């Protein structure tokens, strides 16, 4: 472990001179010290004279890496002891079918909230296993908002309720945790806002997140599952599909995604010691992320030129979506931003326009530069 990974992490304001401001929606930006540590450990980790990519997944070095990654995922997220933390493969998308395979019994119904693209993919896959009841939807308003608790209508006995806490493409985010009917597990796809703010894990039955935004590198999906939910899982599934197998084997039933788990470990150590506004860890991240997003939303709110996609009460602090008055101006915006070393601002093809993804490791200085650029672009083109 280098000195940089053990001293407190302070937010940086600009990228190294040979790097861009990376607004990518994912895989996304990682902290400099995480990347520097990984560079070193790819060559030689823990003084073993072998790199992390080359160690056996059952050797002592990976024993340490895995144990620390899990312990740090737990401590950063304040995860209760009655939850298992699993490192799985196949992307968050594999959970679209793995969750209903395990938790939706034959003839059963699961409730889903449709807040756009990724939520829709979950719904489509669940239909292979049982009945899907739509408990809420933002579809008729082009996914510009998050349904409120009062707008949710659950089925009489759902196996679980599934929602997507942050909609990466539309730039909307829940600012509350849905309450489910008594005894019904809440299942959350938190791929694009996990650990951006504190959450009360005990409110959930299952949470999952592709690591490639706020937790590390593509290649692993982290899953938090409550013990009583694990016990409900269907035992008659192919081995690799059973949550119980991965839990029993502590994520080492087969060769796990060694490098991706290692990077999650580094990112968790970085979040744990992140300091801002007199706070630490995820609490500090919440303040930092709020200030970052505000810089850009303030520009939208004071402009007649830009139009934000999300309704103000449903705005995401991770993905900020907006457009100019025309597609031609959107293209010009993207070209000129790129020339000023801002990369990855093009909106998803489903909605067009621009999207600024400002995950945990994205520096506030980058939001200041973008806000300034937006004002200047409006002045010249508005
Ligand atoms: N859910 C959300 C909210 C996402 O943003 C994404 C990917 N951007 C996915 C699911 C799919 O993740 P993966 O590519 O890891 O399957």
How does pLDDT run across 207-242, given as a tens digit for each residue? Answer: 999 999 999 999 999 999 999 999 999 999 999 999
Among 41, 72, 111, 189, the active-site one is 189
Mutate to test the pocket of ligand 1, among 25, 89, 93 (most ligand atoms within 8 A of CB): 93
Coil, strand or helix at 170: coil
Q: Is 118 a catalytic residue?
A: yes
pLDDT band at 8 (very low <50, low <70, confident <90, very high): confident
pLDDT tens-digit series, residues 167-207: 999 999 999 999 999 999 999 999 999 999 999 999 999 99
Q: Is 153 a catalytic residue?
A: no
Closest CA to 222 of 190, 248, 186, 254: 190
Compute, in angstroms, the gap from residue 93 CA to the centroid of ligand 1.
6
Q: What number does the ligand 1 atom closest to the CA of 25 have?
A: 8
Dihedrals φ, ψ of 88, to 5°?
Answer: -110, 175
Q: What is the pTM of this model?
A: 0.97
Q: What number does the ligand 1 atom closest to the CA of 90 have?
A: 16
Closest CA to 197 of 357, 292, 77, 363: 77
Q: Whose CA is nearest to atom 9 of ligand 1?
A: 92
Pocket of ligand 1 (CB under 6 A): 26, 91-93, 118, 164, 168, 189, 191-192, 210
DSSP assignment of 298-337 equals HHHHT-SS-EESS-GGGB-SSEEEEE-SSHHHHHHHHHHH
pLDDT tens-digit series, residues 320-358: 999 999 999 999 999 999 999 999 999 999 999 999 999
pLDDT averaged over every residue in the chain: 96
Closest CA to 77 of 263, 314, 285, 333: 285
Among 213, 269, 292, 364, the active-site one is 213
pLDDT tens-digit series, residues 66-117: 999 999 999 999 999 999 999 999 999 999 999 999 999 999 999 999 999 9
Query: How many helices (H) and strands (E) are present in the chain, helices listed first?
Result: 10, 16
Coil, strand or helix at 50: coil
279: CB partners within 8 A, 6+ apart: 287
8 Å CB contact between 346 and 331:
no
């Amino acid at each position: 472990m280098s000195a940089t990974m053990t001293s407190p992490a302070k937010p940086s304001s600009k990228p190294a001179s040979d790097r861009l401001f990376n607004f990518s929606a994912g895989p996304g930006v990682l902290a400099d010290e995480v990347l520097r540590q990984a560079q070193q450990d790819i060559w030689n980790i823990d003084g073993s004279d072998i790199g992390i990519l080359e160690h056996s997944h059952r050797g002592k070095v990976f024993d340490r890496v895995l144990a620390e990654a899990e312990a740090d995922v737990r401590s950063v997220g304040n995860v209760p002891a009655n939850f298992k933390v699993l490192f799985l493969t196949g992307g968050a998308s594999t959970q679209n079918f793995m969750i209903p395979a395990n938790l939706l019994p034959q003839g059963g119904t699961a409730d889903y909230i449709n807040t756009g693209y990724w939520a829709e993919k979950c719904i489509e896959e669940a239909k292979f296993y049982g009945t899907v009841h739509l408990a809420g939807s933002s579809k008729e308003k082009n996914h510009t908002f998050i349904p409120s608790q009062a707008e949710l209508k659950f089925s009489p006995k759902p196996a679980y309720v599934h929602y997507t806490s942050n909609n990466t493409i539309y730039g909307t985010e829940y600012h509350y945790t849905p309450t489910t009917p008594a005894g019904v597990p809440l299942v959350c796809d938190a791929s694009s806002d996990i650990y951006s703010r504190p959450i009360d894990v005990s409110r959930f039955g299952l949470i999952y997140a592709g690591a490639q935004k706020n937790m590390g590198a593509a290649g692993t999906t982290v899953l938090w599952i409550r013990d009583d939910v694990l016990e409900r899982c269907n035992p008659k599934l192919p081995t690799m599909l059973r949550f119980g197998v991965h839990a029993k084997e502590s994520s080492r039933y087969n060769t796990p995604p060694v490098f991706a788990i290692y990077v999650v470990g580094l990112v968790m150590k970085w979040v744990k010691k992140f300091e801002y506004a007199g706070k630490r860890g995820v609490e500090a991240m919440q303040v930092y992320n709020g200030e970052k997003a505000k810089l850009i939303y303030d520009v939208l709110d004071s402009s007649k030129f830009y139009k934000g996609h999300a309704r103000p009460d449903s705005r995401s602090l991770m993905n900020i979506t907006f457009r100019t008055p025309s597609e031609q101006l959107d293209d010009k915006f993207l070209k000129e931003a790129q020339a000023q070393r801002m990369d990855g601002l093009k909106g998803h093809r489903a909605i067009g326009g621009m999207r600024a993804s400002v995950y945990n490791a994205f520096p506030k200085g980058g939001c200041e530069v973008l806000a300034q650029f937006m004002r200047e672009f409006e002045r010249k083109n508005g």
